[in-house]
Structure 1
Amino acid sequence: MIEHQGIIANISDKKISVKILQQSACSSCHAKGACMAADSKEKMVDVTDSTGKYKINDLVTIEGKESMGYKAVLWAFVIPVFILVLILILATSVWKWGEMEAAIASILALAPYYLILYLLRHKMANSFKFTIKNFN
């Protein structure tokens, strides 16, 4: 399970917005002050809850299925790399384009992919659901 501690920032109807601190894997390292790789960002995560037992500024733990992380990596990294490589191979081998044209075509081929992801963002958001694990 993916777990994050956060603070409830907003409550509206059945939607609770939880503010979490997303940290990189190396953020707990003792040398992070001297390293440029360590970073952390505040993120807002929406959770559906109709119990009404939470209030703003409550400390909660949210959780999601590990498969959500794998699905996110697939959509964000694996499929775009596959598209890039496929278009590069087709452009250089089948269509006999030069390397520059093939590179530009492979990058431009990602535009429709990201447009489709953008148009389907609300539908995809339904498959990335977090729940409140406990009430601290």
Structure 2
Amino acid sequence: MTDLIKHQGTVENIVGTHVKVRIVQTSACSSCSAKSFCSSSESKEKLIDIYDADTSSLHLGQEVVVYGTTSMGMRAVGLAFGVPFLVMVAALFVLYRLTGGDEAVSALGALLTLLPYYAVLYALRGRIKRRFSFQIETTDK
């Protein structure tokens, strides 16, 4: 069985089979009983896009549960942080060798290798958005 990441939310918009759901993302300490005495608790509202959803039983303002797999979250972290780190470290070593040991130029060049990486991610955002799709289910209340 796959682990699921679930959030309760409210349907904000329905266009065909595309649904936007507003969720409240909270930090771990937001449910703590001492949160009123602490300034570290925080929560944010986010809009989640769900594609190819069965919208026949949905209406605006309805409470729903949005879920995705933890593997989807790990892939997102890998694309956003893991791959760029590896690209940057590899470029640093290659540039260090090519520049004859000039650390400043190597470091700057390694940082600049991230620009094309993130440009490619941006260009492929539509395809990536479909791969990282959430599912929706209605709450039975």
TM-score w.r.t. length of structure 1: 0.88
**Aligned match of 2:115:** 111
Q: Which residue of 2 aligns with 1:23?
A: 26
Any idea what SS the aligned residue of 2:85 has? helix
The match for 2:125 is 121
Counterpart CA distance in 1 for 2:137 and 2:49 is 14
Mapped pair 1:57 → 2:35: no
> For 2:103 and 2:26, how far apart are their aligned partners in 1?
39
1:41 to 40, 44, 55: 44
What's the Cα RMSD here?
1.8
1:79 aligns with 2:72: no
Query: Cα deviations across residues 37-95 of structure 1 (Å, max 9, x unaligned)?
Result: x4322111112323411111111111111111010011011011111111111122343
Identity %: 35
For structure 2, the residue ranges without an aligned partner over 5 or more in a row are none
The TM-score with structure 2 as length reference comes to: 0.85
In structure 1, stretches of 5+ residues that fail to align are none
2: distance between equivalents of 1:90 and 1:39? Answer: 42
Q: Between Structure 1 and Structure 2, how many residues are aligned?
A: 135
Cα distance in 2, alignment partners of residues 76 and 32 from structure 1: 33
